Amino acid sequence: MKPIAVTIRFHEELNDFLPRHEPGQAIAVTWHGRRTVKDLIESLGVPHVEIDIIQIHGTTVGLDYLVRDQDDIDVHPGFHITRPPRFVIDDNVAKLVPLLRMLGFDTLYAQGATDSWIATISKQEGRTIVSRDKGLLKRKEVHSGLYVRSTRPPEQLREVVERLQLREFCQPFTRCLSCNGILLSLDADEAAVNPQIPPGVRTWTNEFFQCNGCHKVFWKGSHHQSMERLVHQILRHP
């Protein structure tokens, strides 16, 4: 049986997945047998969730395209996420959970969950998986996903916001960092009798919020200022 030989080029940040290749440089690949372009791309280390357009000799094809001998393939980066975005966060980037909620995003934490469960919830609820596990992001049933390059949480947050172009969707301090519920203003009458608010706090603020999920009450304490600084840094245009 004649082998299939193709050339393939990955564009822009997709080259982060390829060691020893310059961006846009053609890679020659040869094999025997039928193979989809998704399988070929992922065998080179690039998860399909970061791909926008695949072109063969300039014609756009889908992930299930069966590759033919002498195909010349260009792969361009991009994301197909739900707007407004919804997330499911893998254990390996768990510190992103409160940070994304801080920006107001519907963020599910897949604590201790299997890859299969995460992929399924991604599909069922249109959630974008954020992970540092390429194997998880290669699963066919995944709705959308992002492989985070950075290992530092504030930098990871900046990366998610910039790469998925989330600035216009941010609604800082509208969501509970603990449970993903929505924060609602607590009116003065309710605040006056709420046992969660220490009397000392009432002397310097009358602005309180209550989570509609866990019913915890929040106010803008000293911790809030450092979060505001971080939000300002993230949302500031580079």
Which residues, 123 to 152, sit near Zn ion by CB under 5 A?
none
Contact yes or no for 51/76 (Cβ under 8 A)? yes
Stretch in the footprint of Zn ion (CB under 5 A) among 120-128, 159-167, 174-182, 224-232: 174-182
Report the residue number, 79 or 173, with the smaller CB distance to Zn ion. Answer: 173
Q: How far is the CB of 223 from Zn ion (least distance, A)?
A: 16
Report the residue number, 126 or 213, with the smaller CB distance to Zn ion. Answer: 213
Report the residue number, 144 or 180, with the smaller CB distance to Zn ion. Answer: 180
Q: Kindly determine how many residues on this chain lie close enough to bind Zn ion according to the rule CB under 5 A.
A: 7
Q: Is 179 in the site for Zn ion (CB under 5 A)?
A: yes
Q: Measuring CA to CA, how many Å separate 209 from each of 89, 143, 183, 188, 199?
A: 25, 33, 6, 11, 16
Residue 139, helix vs strand vs coil: coil
Which residues, 190 to 219, sit near Zn ion by CB under 5 A?
211, 213-214
Report the residue number, 53 or 214, with the smaller CB distance to Zn ion. Answer: 214
The whole-angstrom separation of Cα 88 and Cα 12 is 26
Q: Measuring CA to CA, how many Å separate 77 from each of 5, 163, 180?
A: 23, 10, 30
Q: How far is the CB of 217 from Zn ion (least distance, A)?
A: 10
* Residue closest to 209 by CA, chosen among 200, 227, 199, 221: 221
Q: How far is the CB of 183 from Zn ion (least distance, A)?
A: 8
Residue 77, helix vs strand vs coil: strand
Q: Where are the alpha helices (DSSP H) in the chain?
A: 37-43, 96-102, 115-125, 134-137, 153-163, 188-193, 199-202, 222-235
Which of 176, 183, 186, 231 contacts Zn ion by CB under 5 A?
176
Report the residue number, 38 or 101, with the smaller CB distance to Zn ion. Answer: 101
Q: Which residues bind Zn ion (CB under 5 A)?
A: 176, 178-179, 181, 211, 213-214
